[in-house]
Amino acid sequence: MAKCDVCGKDENMPYNCRHCGGTYCGDHRLPENHNCTGLENWNDPKGVFDSGFDDNVNSGGSTSRASSLTDKIPINTGTGGPLAYFRGNMTYTVLALMWLTFLSQLILQQFLSYEAYSSIFVLRPYHPEYVWTWFTSIFAHGGFMHIVGNSIVIFFFGPLVERYVGSRKFAILFLVSGALAGLGQITIQMIEVSPITPFTSGVVGASGAALAILGVLTILNPDLKVYLYFIIPVPIWLLTAGYAFISVFFLAGAGGGFGAGIAHMAHLVGLVIGLAYGQYLKQNRNVSAPNRLEFGGGGPGGPGGPGGPGRGRF
Domain that holds residue 21: 1-36
Mean pLDDT, contiguous 10-residue spans, the chain (314 residues): 75 67 77 69 45 43 45 54 64 94 93 89 87 93 90 90 88 94 85 55 88 92 79 83 80 56 83 92 65 40 33 39
Same domain, yes or no: 217 and 118: yes
Statement to judge: residues 123 and 235 lie in one domain = yes
**CA dist., res. 134 & res. 15, Å (int):** 54
Question: 149 and 253, same structural domain?
Answer: yes
Co-location of 26 and 119 in the same domain: no
Amino acid at 294: E
Q: Is residue 236 part of a domain?
A: yes
Angle (CA) 238 281 140, round 5°: 65
The three-class DSSP label of residue 278 is helix
Look at residue 305 and tell me if it is in a domain. Answer: no
- Is residue 42 included in any domain, yes or no? no
Residue 32 sits in the same domain as residue 128: no
Question: Do 108 and 177 have their domain in common?
Answer: yes
Are both 25 and 93 inside the same structural domain? Answer: no
Q: Strands, DSSP E only, in the chain? A: 2-3, 10-11, 15-16, 23-24, 225-228, 232-235, 258-259, 262-263
pTM: 0.64
Q: Verify that 132 and 254 share a domain, yes or no.
A: yes
Q: How many helices (H) and strands (E) does the chain have?
A: 9, 8
* Whether residues 11 and 116 fall in one domain: no
